[in-house]
Amino acid sequence: MKFAHLADLHLGFRQYTRQTPQGINQREADVAGAFRRATNQVIEAAPDLVLVAGDLFHSVRPTNAAILDSFNQFRRLRAALPETPVVIVAGNHDTPRSAETGTILKLFAAVDGVQVVVHASERLVFERLATTVLCVPNLAWSGSPRPSIAPDASATHNILVTHREVEGMVPRDPSDLAYGGVPIRQSELRAEEFDYVALGHHHVANELAPNVWYSGALEYVTTNPWGESRERGSTAAAGDKGWLLVELGERLRISFQRVEPARRVVDLDPISAAGCAAADLDRAIAAQVEEIPGGIDGQIVRQVVYDVPRTTARDLDHAAIRAIKASALHYRLDLRRPTRQRDITLDTRGRRQTLSEIVTDYLGRRPLPAGVSRDRLLALGAVYLDAAEREMAEE
> Is residue 246 one of the residues assigned to a domain?
yes
CA atoms within a 13 Å half-sphere pointing along the CA-CB vector of 280: 10
Q: Which of 293, 316, 335 is the last residue of a domain?
A: 335
pLDDT tens per residue across span 312-356? 999 999 999 999 999 999 999 999 988 765 445 555 555 566 777
Domains in the chain, number = 3
| Beta strands per DSSP E along the chain | 2-6, 49-53, 86-89, 114-117, 122-126, 131-136, 157-163, 196-200, 206-209, 212-214, 242-247, 253-258, 265-267, 271-272, 300-306, 330-335, 345-346, 352-353
- What phi and psi values does residue 57 have, to the nearest 5 degrees? -110, 160
Q: Which of 335, 354, 372 is the last residue of a domain?
A: 335
**55 and 180 belong to one structural domain:** yes
Q: Is 229's pLDDT higher than 80? A: yes
DSSP annotation of 11: B
The pTM (predicted TM-score) of the whole model is: 0.82
**273 and 253 belong to one structural domain:** no
pLDDT tens per residue across span 49-85? 999 999 999 998 899 999 999 999 999 999 999 999 9
pLDDT given for residue 233 in this prediction:
75
Between CA 279 and CA 287, with CA 284 as vertex, the angle to 5 degrees is 125
* 129 band by pLDDT with thresholds 50, 70 and 90: very high
Cα 38 from Cα 343, distance rounded (Å): 50
157: amino acid identity, one letter:
H
**305 and 219 belong to one structural domain:** no
pLDDT tens per residue across span 15-46? 999 999 999 999 999 999 999 999 999 999 99
For the chain, give the percent of residues with pLDDT over 70.
Answer: 88
**144 and 159 belong to one structural domain:** yes
| Beta strands per DSSP E along 80-232 | 86-89, 114-117, 122-126, 131-136, 157-163, 196-200, 206-209, 212-214
Q: Is 131's pLDDT higher than 60? A: yes
Residue 81: how many other CB atoms lie within 10 Å:
20
Q: Is 93's pLDDT higher than 50? A: yes
> Is residue 340 one of the residues assigned to a domain?
no
Residue 314: how many other CB atoms lie within 10 Å:
10
* 151 band by pLDDT with thresholds 50, 70 and 90: very high
Instruction: Specify whether the CB–CB gap between 334 and 303 falls below 8 A.
Output: yes
> Is residue 206 one of the residues assigned to a domain?
yes
- What phi and psi values does residue 61 have, to the nearest 5 degrees? -120, 75
DSSP annotation of 60: S
pLDDT tens per residue across span 265-316? 999 999 999 889 999 999 999 999 999 999 999 999 999 999 999 999 999 9
pLDDT tens per residue across span 208-225? 999 999 999 999 999 889
Instruction: Specify whether the CB–CB gap between 101 and 50 falls below 8 A.
Output: no
Domain of residue 355, residue span:
345-394
Instruction: Specify whether the CB–CB gap between 300 and 266 falls below 8 A.
Output: yes
Across residues 143-157, what is the average pLDDT? 91
pLDDT tens per residue across span 158-201? 999 999 988 876 554 544 444 446 788 888 999 999 999 999 99
**18 and 160 belong to one structural domain:** yes
CATH (domain of 160): 3.60.21.10
Report the candidate in 244, 238, 214 with the shortest Cα–Cα distance to residue 225: 238
